[in-house]
A and B are shown apart, each in its own frame.
Chain A
């Protein structure tokens, strides 16, 4: 398809959509011209004026039907129909406010809940932590047969760091995360003896 034709098609679509009145009246004028020529031909064939016009109109068939078919050909009736449906929907919603309120609330709640849950998941699970080398950050817990799993407090952390086995600990954050120097050591158990 060359560019000239593409341009023609775009121009026609644009015209049928935005200058519908113009296109319709043009079609009307076109068909009226056709009808008049038919009448003239009938008169030339020997009919009187009234008969000629009646015959021509009969041959012409439904003008509105032809208009409808031409509208189909313009292929913009989908957009027209859609707009009409939209107007209809708005009118019907306006007629039953209670129903409308229920629907709007349902949609608002579900959209709100969805986006709230998603933003939590996005922050907690999907986005990496906002630190350089985030993959090296770990949480450290106490864990033993006697005590329940329990997070380390900063003072314990400082004590632990003093011991050779934890020399890789570098820093502590108020959130009780500890940064390792060489990579991730999760689930590794450090045997600590005082």
Chain B
């Protein structure tokens, strides 16, 4: 089980942006979705999630609005702003570059 602190810094932002790119979600749903999609490998605790959401909101990449959730109570739904979409593309590209670089190094090390 991977704690958020084990995630490479900045990866959580990418995961959140990607998750809410499909539809607006509240914090709980974001955490659950990341858990499910990653087959429980990535566990996002509240202690990491809410500060990250706050930061993304402050950066103008996501916007929160209160509305009724599927459980019938009010929850804060986060959605991507236009700037957030641009940022998501940027972070995806960065992640692609980083991960393929890591793969290169690992493969080279195995061959040696």
Contact = CB atoms under 8 A, between A and B. Distances in A.
Nearest to B58: A12
B32 to A, nearest CB: 8
Contacts, number: 84
A26 interface: yes
A34 interface: yes
Interface size class of B (residues with CB under 8 A): 20 to 34
Contacts of B9: none
Contact of A73 (B27, B55, B66): B55
Interface in A140-185: none
Interface string A24-38: 001101110110111
A70 B42 CA distance: 21
Nearest to B76: A30
A73 B53 CA distance: 9
B10 interface: no
A61 B51 contact: no
Interface of chain A, main secondary structure? helix
A108 interface: no
Interface string A57-90: 0011110011001101111000000000000000
6 contacts: A4-B81, A4-B82, A5-B82, A8-B63, A27-B54, A60-B46
Interface of B: 26-28, 31, 45-47, 50-52, 54-55, 57-61, 63, 66, 69, 71, 73-76, 81-83
Interface of A: 1-2, 4-9, 12-13, 16, 26-27, 29-31, 33-34, 36-38, 40, 59-62, 65-66, 69-70, 72-75
